[in-house]
Chains A and B, each alone.
Chain A
Amino acid sequence: MTTSTIESIPPRLLAEPIEWFFAEHYRHRQACKMIEEVAAAMVFDRPRVIELIVFLDQDLPLHVIDEEEDFFPLLRRRCEPGDDVERVLGMLSAEHRADVVQASAVRDHLLACLETERAPGLDATQRKAMIAFAAQERRHLGLENAIVLPIARLRLAPEDLTTLGRRLAARRGRLLDVAVGADQA
């Protein structure tokens, strides 16, 4: 039975960036589950295929920008040499690049299935690619949750979190109030 969905995140979490990232990673796990379910399904399920395409097209690239061009650079500046974070972040950056390439291939296949109305998993090669992408993504998320986010919790100051939250929000078309971090959008 296919029951997984990709939940939305309450906008108020933008004011708490580390919680936002945890929630975002949870959504990515939900997307991975959905990819596996769609890959295993014998019947074409248009709404779920569309939901995945939207996720791969919009949410994933935005999340990569959040981390690669905002969160990771900030962590590099804040971490102590003993944190040994450079190597982990360096590896995660390479994985992000691979994610974007793999996600693009999965999205292209889903788009093609949208045209033909064939279940995406009926093509054995593509099914394997979808499952491989989900597995790689899960491993990547696990590493970020286990190492990067706990270090961030330790090293980022309240003002770092405030400015990071404002940029996360702006990237999503929202303006956070400077004084209280309340959502004005």
Chain B
Amino acid sequence: MSEALLADNLAWAAGRHGDRDFFTRQAAPRQAEHLWIGCACSRLSGQDLTGLPPGAIFALANLGNLALSQDIGFLSGLQYALEVLKVRHVVVCGHYGCGAMGAALSDPAPGLVDHWLAPVRALAWRHAQDLETILDPAARANRLCELNVAAQLAQLAANPLVHETWRRGQPLSLHGWIHSAADGLLRDLETSVSSPRQAMALVGGPMDQVGRRRGKRKAS
């Protein structure tokens, strides 16, 4: 198996030979402007979806694109992106057809995956009334996927590392998006925030102008 992967790599590298600058472009120093928090089971990366050059996106991935304040791996990546790379945008990007959301909606089995997905399961319980109206399991999981992106963005908006970034006066916007592998298109879930005040509104505090406009429409 590993031999096959290494052989595939040789073929892949050799296949780039026609594009003389390919590896020069890959290796060129570039300051990432975006931190992309995606799902480990997504088949399309932020770079695939946006066509941005290599290095423009600093990517973190885990099951269900969670932004948990208890996850040291996530926190380390976030801190590196905010303090060293000084990214200006953080995107939490879920995807329709997410296996993690499907797992969170099915019977729990003992195991670390279920522990990891416990916050998503709790989120599904909070929205059980709405989710139960969606009879098709795949469509129900897709709706949970949207709710989860909004919930992770709220987590991120309350993260001390994010607030410290704003306190330093560093420009930073947080965005909640979703994509489908069926069409490769990103959908903006309209949860973007760029200031502590907007972050406060997103997690349920007093609303500013942006929050008021969003609040008039149904929150995800």
Chain A positions near chain B (C-beta within 8 angstroms): 65, 68-70, 72-73, 76-81, 86-87, 89-91, 93-94, 96-97, 163, 167, 170-171
Asked if residues B183 and A90 are in contact (CB atoms below 8 Å), the reply is no
Tell me which residues from 111 to 141 in chain B have a Cβ below 8 Å from any Cβ of chain A: 130, 133-136, 138-139
Cross-chain pair count, CB within 8 angstroms:
62
Asked if residues A77 and B185 are in contact (CB atoms below 8 Å), the reply is no
Main SS class of interface, A = helix
Main SS class of interface, B = loop
B142 CB within 8 Å of chain A: yes
Residue of B nearest to A88 (CB): B133
Assuming the contacts A73-B143, A76-B143, A78-B218, asked whether A97 and B183 have C-beta atoms less than 8 A apart, the reply is: no
* Residue in A69, A79, A86, A93 whose beta carbon sits within 8 Å of that of B136 in the complex: A93
Closest CB pairs A-B (n = 6): A93-B139, A94-B135, A90-B133, A90-B134, A93-B136, A86-B133
Please classify how large the interface on chain B is, using the bins under 10, 10 to 19, 20 to 34, 35 or more.
Answer: 20 to 34
Which residues in B have their C-beta under 8 angstroms from that of A76?
143, 218
Complex Cα spacing A11 to B62, Å:
40
* Residue in A70, A81, A89 whose beta carbon sits within 8 Å of that of B187 in the complex: A70
Residue of B nearest to A64 (CB): B182
Complex Cα spacing A65 to B143, Å:
14
B165 CB within 8 Å of chain A: no
Assuming the contacts A65-B180, A69-B180, A73-B143, asked whether A167 and B135 have C-beta atoms less than 8 A apart, the reply is: no
Asked if residues A77 and B217 are in contact (CB atoms below 8 Å), the reply is yes
